[in-house]
Structure 1
Amino acid sequence: MANVKIPTSFNIELEFETANILVRFLAWIIDLLIRIAFGIAIYVTFSRMHLAGNTATVMYILFCALPISLYYLLFEITMNGQSPGKMMLGIKVRSLNGSKPSISQHLIRWLFRLLEAPWGIFFLNGAVPIITMIRSRYDQRLGDVVAGTIVVNTKNKTSIQDTIYRDMSSLNYEPHFPQILRLSDRDMNKIKTLMDQAIKSGNQDLIARVAERVKEVLGIETEMGHFQFLETVLNDYNYYTTR
C-alpha cells in the first residue's frame, strides 16, 4: 500500500492511499461471485424455457456472455469508478490527476483486463496483473499503467471538499464570470475558507459580505443569491484553470 500525492491546478496536493493487491483481489472475488450467480440465474431461467439450439445460443450470448464480459466497463463508468466489489471494499478507480476517469480510460482498462484474464492461454495471463502490481510504485496493474489510472481507497487523507478543487471534467458546465481569472489561488482558498466558516457557524452575514466584496473587486453585477454566487465563482475558477 502506497500514498500518492496528486497535484491540482491550485498548488494543492491531494493525498490518496492506493488499494493494495489483497484488497483488489478481494474486490475481484466479490465481483466474480456476482458474475457467477448471474450466469447461473440466466442458465436456470433459459433452461426452463426449453429453447431450440440456435435460439438458446443467441440468447445466452446476448443475455449472459455479453453482460458478463461488459461487467467492469459498464459498472465502473456508471458507478463513478466502482464495481459492486470495489464499492463493498471502499475503493475506486481514479485518473492520475485525481479526477474521474474518462470513457476512453475505462475502455483501455477493460480491454487490458481481457488480456490479463486468468483464463488466458495456458492460464499464465493471471500472473500479468499480479507481477505488474508488485512492481508498480502505486499498485497499478498493466491496464492502469496504460490508461493512466490508479485504484485508491475512497477515504483520501486530504479531502477534496476541504479544498477549492472541483472535478468539472464530467460536467457540461457553462461558466458565468470570466473575470474570475483575475483572482489567484490564494484568493480562492481564502473565499472557500470564509464560506466554510460561515456555513459552520450559520453566519449568513459573513457570506453576504464575502460575496459583495468579490463582486466589487471583479466588477460583477448579478441577481444570484450570495451563496449561489460564491459556489458559481468556485466552479468557474475550476472550469477555467483546468481547461
Structure 2
Amino acid sequence: MASIKIPTSFNIDLEFETANLFQRFLGWLLDTLIRLVYCIALGYTVYNMQLGEVTSYVVYFFLGVLPMLFYFLVLEIIMNGQTPGKLIMNIKVRNMQGGKPSISQHLIRWLFRMLETPYIFWNGIIPIIAMLRSPYDQRLGDIVAGTIVVSTKTKASLNDTIFRDMSAVDYQPHFPQILKLSDRDMNKIKTLMDQAIKSNNPELAARVAYRVRDVLEIKTDMQPVEFLETVLNDYNYYTTR
C-alpha cells in the first residue's frame, strides 16, 4: 500500500494511504454483487407482472440496462467519490489535490472502465498491470483522469489542522474579510478554540471571537464558537478556490 502526500493551502501536507489492488477488487466485487441482486429482483418482478414482450424489453432497458451501465458514474458523483462497495471498503475517489473530482474526471474514469472491466479476461489484466506499475496504485482510467483512490482514513487527522474539505458541500461564505488573516493566525485561532471547547471555557472562546471581530471589523450575532467555526470554514473556502 503506497502513500501520497497532498499539500494544502496551509503549509500542511496531508498524507493519504492509497487503496491497493485487493481493496479495490473487493469494492468492485461488492458492487457487482449488489448489481446482481438488483437484476435478479428486477427479473423476478417483471416476470411475475406478466407484461407483454415489448413492454418487458422496455422495462428491462430503462430499469436494468441503464442503471447497470451508469452505476459507477452516477453513484461516484452523488456519493462524493464512492459507491456502496467503496463505502464498505472505506475508500473513495479523489483528485490529485485531495479534493472532489470534477464531473469530467468522473466521466473519463467511467469511459475507461469499459476498457478495463474484469468481465473479459484480457480487459481485466489492463487495470492490474496499470496499478502494479503506478506508484499510487492507479488504474489506467485514474492516470488519464488525474484521480486517485485513497483510504478514507488519513494518517494525519484533519481535525488537528485548520484544513476543511469544502469541495464536498455547497458552502456559502460569510466573511470575505477573513483573507486579511494568515495561515499562522488561523492556526492560532483553531488552537485557542479547541482549547476553549476541551476545557469548557466559554470565556476564552468569547475573547478570541471578540478579538477576531474587532480586527476584521465584523458585526455578527453568531455565538463565539459558531463564529470561529465559520471563520475557519470561510478561510478554507476562499483559499482553496
Q: TM-score, normalised by structure 1?
A: 0.93
In structure 1, the residue matched to 2:179 is 181
- Give the aligned partner of residue 138 of structure 1: 136
Distance 1:172 1:88, change over 3 A: closer
Give percent identity, aligned residues only. 65
Partner Cα distance (1:71, 1:178) in 2: 39
Could you tell me how far apart the structure 1 residues matched to 2:231 and 2:32 are?
44
1:56 and 1:118 map into 2 onto residues whose CA distance is 29
Tell me which of 209, 212, 219 is aligned to 1:211.
209
Hey, what does 2:200 align to over in structure 1?
A: 202
1:61 matched to which residue of 2?
A: 61
Q: Deviations over 1:1-42 (max 9, x none)?
A: 101100011111111111100111111111111111111111
2:235 equivalent in structure 1: 237
| 1:111-145 CA-partner distances (Å, limit 9, x unpaired) | 2112212345xx42111111111111100111111
Taking the TM superposition and a 5 Å limit, the aligned residue runs for 1:21-36 are 21-36=21-36
Paired position in structure 1 for 2:41:
41
- Please name the residue that 1:155 is paired with: 153
Q: Which whole-Å deviations, capped at 9, do the CAs of 1:174-196 have from their partners, x for residues lacking one? A: 32222211111011011111111
Match of 1:228 among 204, 226, 229: 226
Is the Cα–Cα contact under 8 Å of residues 186 and 232 in structure 2 kept in the other structure? Answer: yes
C-alpha displacement of 1:102? 2.4
CA–CA distance in 1 between the matches of 2:205 and 2:159?
18
Q: Check the 8 A contact 2:42/2:64 in 1, yes or no.
A: yes
Q: Aligned partners of 2:46 and 2:219: how far apart in 1?
A: 64
What residue ranges of structure 1 are gaps of 5+ in the alignment? Answer: none
Query: Match of 2:162, SS?
Result: coil
> Do the aligned residues in 1 keep the contact of 2:175 with 2:231 (CA within 8 Å)?
yes
Q: Helix, strand or coil for the counterpart of 1:169?
A: helix
**3-state DSSP class of the match of 1:140?**
coil
User: CA separation in 1, counterparts of 2:221 and 2:37?
Assistant: 55
Distance in 1 between residues matched to 2:41 and 2:227, nearest whole Å = 52
**Cα distance in 2 between the residues matched to 1:145 and 1:102:** 15
Give the aligned residue type for 1:64. G
TM-score (norm 2): 0.94
Distance 1:197 1:166 in 2: 19
Task: Return the offset for 1:240.
Answer: 1.5
Q: 1:220 & 1:26 partners in 2: Cα distance?
A: 51
Once the two structures are TM-superposed, the CA of residue 49 in structure 1 deviates from its matched residue by: 2.1
Deviations 1:34-56 (A, max 9, x none): 11111111111112222222222
Q: Which amino acid aligns with 2:108?
A: I
62-71 or 160-169: bigger deviation: 160-169
Question: AA paired with 1:31?
Answer: D
Alignment partner of 1:2 is 2:2: yes
**Which stretch shifts more, 16-25 or 155-164?**
155-164
Q: C-alpha distance in 2, partners of 1:157/1:204?
A: 31
Find the residue that maps to 2:171 and give its secondary structure.
coil
